[in-house]
Amino acid sequence: MTTGLRHLLWTAAAAAALLAVTYAIPPFRNYQLATAAAYLCATAGLTVLVGLSGQLSLGHGAVMAVGAYAVALSQNRFADAGLTGNGVLAASLALGVLAALVAGLIVGLAAARLRGPYLAGVTLAVAVALPAVTTVWAGVFHSDQGLSVYLEPPPAGLGYDFPLERWQAWLALAGALLVMLLLANLVRSRFGRSLRAVRDDEVAARLAGIDVARTQVLAFVVSAGCAGLGGGLMAVLTQSVSPGAYSLTLSLFLLMAVVVGGLGRLAGAVWGALLLVVLPDLTHTIVASLTLSPAAAQRLEGNLPLAVFGLTLIVVMIAAPGGISGVVRRLTPASPLRR
Amino acid sequence: MESQGLTLDGVTVQFGGLTALEDVRLTVPPGKVVGVIGPNGAGKTTLFNVICGFVRPTRGDLRFDGRTLRPRAHRLAKLGIGRTLQGVGLFAGLSVVENVMAGATHTARAGFTSALFGLPPSDRDERRLRDEAMELLTQFGIAEHASAEPGSLPYPVRKKVALARALAARPRLLLLDEPAGGLGAEDITELAELVATLPGRDGGGRSVMLVEHHMDFVMSVCDEVAVLDFGRLIAVGSPEKVRDDPAVAEAYLGPALEGRTA
């Protein structure tokens, strides 16, 4: 059996299980599941970039924004032109990925010449510059206000009272499973090995016949494509896009998520994506249980997730440098998500 | 393929005002082991770096198999040139067998699409690379370490892995940068036997060039020895001839031999 077929079977099994889950949980939980799936696209791509190719990106939130804006713009254009249907949505998402791939290529070409803190600086600049871009071309991006995204109701064939959230969960999960399938294939191939070789020793990699710069750009492009799909799905979920939703904080959250989950492991990206959904929810519950003035509560709720995440990061780094997936690996001798 | 070996024709390298190599003329014939010796700072590593394309010569030409050599480092493997690094230079995050597989990366035929979708061509490449790597590890007697990470292994084993990685692509010219460095006497004897087999492997005709400080090792494995001093070649010839050369004794071997008991 080929690698692709084996991974496809695992993906199909996961899809079947998740499908059952979407029927078992209420709409709000389905929405959270969908959000985690959209994050997973981005964290999976990011863990390959940072963990396997060894290139740091502080700008993946901005790459998600590129995907999100591209989906928003194309969805709305298609709707204006009278084009609707799920094929159109798929085309919009594909355009979102395409836009992110182009962005990844541009950043990657610059990144291949930079190392360590300089690379971090460039990607940071991308994240910081994003709101300014939406303001300068306000005619297209509507500055801080952002865009609303046209989303059709679930297909009529699913029934009259089919919840929108379940439909959104299906869309996001399909995207996340596709990303996981393709990345799992890639990681198992010589490209995955080349990424790790370049990360470990660039001179030795060159002598082994690996084109270091090309490998690094490729990692950026692949990772950006995944983040673009994640951003596009996020736009479909929230049915809006604004710079505030893709701030530097999101970029930092994504990075912390892949580190806490277990850097360089796709299973770690799953844990990270779940944390990105669970932690804000948890802090919301904590804040709600306290009796605070509305202003204090709002400020606390805005900052508490970051504080909790930061604290989790420190604890995980000290207690289990392999992240959550590292701990799980130690506890389970054999699992399909071992790589 | 008929190999004509490596020829350096008047290679000069200057770093600013410093001349690291001056008018070096040297041939590494197919099937032969050529050792380059010389005191520290004589230009041995610069010589390797010129051949690898890490450093461009200020003047002079390099020819490999009759063609002018102006490589970019990652194209070396494709041209049929392999090199080990000082120390070991292994990929710490890759297992031993993956390290050796990485050495033959350019021989893989399947493209990116095949890898992305996990199609049979990519799988065939992987299986072939793994089989060949395992074969090499078996020949080197270190197959039992295949799935270990290099960091967990004794230094002599890591040295062998590094050599296996450089051999994985079946280079027609193999450059060994201080292969005996850091090894004990027993391991050096074993290494000497191994290095002596390198020219004849994979159908024969492989040129081997090595830079080394360990004199007994050089004298025992090399067909020819070249002596560098302040960037100039002061002697080239058989180990015996070089050993007896008064210029060499004066520049390098003399003071070194006084302190030696062997």
Query: In chain B, which residue's Cα lies nearest the Cα of A209?
Result: B74
- Cβ proximity of A266 and A187 under 8 Å: yes
Q: How confident is the model at residue A285 (pLDDT cuts 50, 70, 90)?
A: confident
Q: Could you tell me which of A127, A112, A128 has the C-alpha nearest to residue A220?
A: A112
pLDDT for the residue numbered B47: 92
The whole-angstrom distance between A125's CA and the closest CA on chain B is: 30
> Cα dihedral angle (A28, A328, A120, B90), rounded to 10 degrees?
-150
Q: How confident is the model at residue A333 (pLDDT cuts 50, 70, 90)?
A: low
> Does residue B132 or residue A157 have the better pLDDT?
B132
- Cβ proximity of B12 and B24 under 8 Å: yes
Instruction: Give A 160-199 residues with CB within 8 A of chain B.
Output: 182, 184-186, 188-191, 193-194, 196-197, 199
Calpha distance A191→A199 (Å, rounded): 12
User: 10 Å Cβ neighbour count for A250?
Assistant: 22
Calpha distance A92→A150 (Å, rounded): 11
> For the residues A137-147, what does the mean pLDDT come to?
83
- The first and second tokens of residue A137, run together, are 């071309």
Q: Which residues contact B13 (CB under 8 A, 6 or more apart)?
A: B19, B20, B21, B43, B46, B50, B55, B57, B58, B231
Q: How confident is the model at residue B253 (pLDDT cuts 50, 70, 90)?
A: low
The whole-angstrom distance between A187's CA and the closest CA on chain B is: 9
Residues of A within 8 A of B123 (CB-CB) are 2-3
- Cβ proximity of B76 and B53 under 8 Å: yes
Query: In chain B, which residue's Cα lies nearest the Cα of A6?
Result: B118
Contact between chains at B118 and A203 (C-beta distance less than 8 A): no
- Cβ proximity of B35 and B225 under 8 Å: yes
Q: How confident is the model at residue A120 (pLDDT cuts 50, 70, 90)?
A: confident
> For the residues B123-150, what does the mean pLDDT come to?
95
Contact between chains at A190 and B129 (C-beta distance less than 8 A): yes
Instruction: Give B 93-112 residues with CB within 8 A of chain A.
Output: 93-94, 98, 101-106, 108, 110, 112
> For the residues B112-135, what does the mean pLDDT come to?
94
- Cβ proximity of B76 and A209 under 8 Å: yes
Contact between chains at B116 and A193 (C-beta distance less than 8 A): no
Residue B147 in this model has a pLDDT that exceeds 80: yes
Calpha distance B240→B237 (Å, rounded): 8
Q: Could you tell me which of A119, A122, A141, A123 has the C-alpha nearest to residue A132?
A: A141
Query: In chain B, which residue's Cα lies nearest the Cα of A7?
Result: B118
Q: Where in chain B is the domain with CATH 3.40.50.300?
A: 1-67+182-221+231-262
Residue A13 in this model has a pLDDT that exceeds 80: yes
Residues of B within 8 A of A207 (CB-CB) are 52, 73-74, 76-77, 82-83, 85, 166
User: 10 Å Cβ neighbour count for A22?
Assistant: 20
- At residue A188, φ and ψ (nearest 5 deg) are -80, -10
Residue A194 in this model has a pLDDT that exceeds 90: yes
Q: How confident is the model at residue A337 (pLDDT cuts 50, 70, 90)?
A: very low
Contact between chains at B74 and A209 (C-beta distance less than 8 A): yes
pTM: 0.90
Out of A39-43, A60-64, B103-107, which region has the weakest mean confidence (pLDDT)? B103-107
Out of A151-155, A281-285, A302-306, B11-15, which region has the weakest mean confidence (pLDDT)? A302-306
| B82 interfaces chain A, CB cutoff of 8 Å | yes
The whole-angstrom distance between B72's CA and the closest CA on chain A is: 9
User: Which among B73, B108, B116 has the least Cβ separation from residue A207?
Assistant: B73
Residue B153 in this model has a pLDDT that exceeds 90: yes
Q: Which of A47, A179, A190 to mutate to test the interface with B (most CBs of B within 10 A)?
A: A190
Contact between chains at A209 and B169 (C-beta distance less than 8 A): yes
Per the document, the length of chain A is 339
Residues of A within 8 A of B74 (CB-CB) are 205-207, 209-212
Residue tagged 């995955």 (tokens) = A192
Query: In chain A, which residue's Cα lies nearest the Cα of B110?
Result: A190
Strands (E), chain A: 147-148, 240-241
| A142 interfaces chain B, CB cutoff of 8 Å | no
Query: Strand B224-229 relative to strand B232-237: parallel, antiparallel, unpaired?
Result: antiparallel
User: Which among B93, B101, B126 has the least Cβ separation from residue A199?
Assistant: B93
Residue A97 in this model has a pLDDT that exceeds 90: yes
pLDDT for the residue numbered A208: 92
- Cβ proximity of B65 and B172 under 8 Å: yes
> Does residue B252 or residue B194 have the better pLDDT?
B194
| B247 interfaces chain A, CB cutoff of 8 Å | no
Residues of B within 8 A of A191 (CB-CB) are 112, 115
- Furthest C-alpha separation in chain B: 65
Query: In chain A, which residue's Cα lies nearest the Cα of B118?
Result: A4
As its CATH architecture, domain A3-246 has Orthogonal Bundle (1.10)
Q: Where are the domains of chain A?
A: 3-246
ipTM > 0.90 for the complex: no
B1-67+182-221+231-262 CATH: 3.40.50.300
**CA dihedral over B135, B141, B144, B146, signed as positive or negative:** negative
